[in-house]
């Protein structure tokens, strides 16, 4: 079942406004539990977590910045 452009746009907005801040809090909490690793290791963990959060949502975000393909065209 294909999700409409409008629904994907709303879902992407929900993910960015609610899901991403929650993910950031969880990531900072997890890194806080570590026994203060070296700065390069901490940076590596943050970079990895920063990339990993978006992978499951790749299909949702794809094409969101483009004009609505379902909208009627103006002459």
Q: Identify whether 1 is part of a domain.
A: no
Q: Which domain holds residue 28?
A: 7-60
66 assigned to some structural domain: no
Phi first, then psi: give them for residue 18, nearest 5 degrees. Answer: -115, -50
20-26 contact pairs (CB < 8 A, 24+): 20/53, 23/49, 23/53
> What confidence tens digit (pLDDT) does each residue in 34-62 have?
888 888 988 888 888 888 888 888 888 88
Q: What does pTM read for this prediction?
A: 0.71
Assess contact for 62 and 13: CB atoms under 8 A: no
Flag whether 72 is in a domain.
no
> 39 lies in a domain?
yes
Q: Is 31 inside any structural domain?
A: yes
pLDDT for 26 equals 87
Assigned domain for 19 exists: yes
Q: Is 75 inside any structural domain? A: no
| Domains in the chain, number | 1
């Amino acid at each position: 079942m294909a999700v409409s452009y409008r629904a994907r746009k709303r879902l992407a907005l929900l993910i960015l406004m609610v899901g991403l801040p929650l993910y950031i809090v969880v990531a900072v909490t997890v890194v806080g539990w570590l026994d203060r690793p070296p700065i390069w290791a901490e940076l590596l963990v943050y970079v990895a977590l920063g990339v990993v959060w978006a992978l499951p949502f790749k299909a949702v975000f794809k094409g969101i910045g483009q004009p609505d393909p379902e909208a009627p065209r103006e002459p």
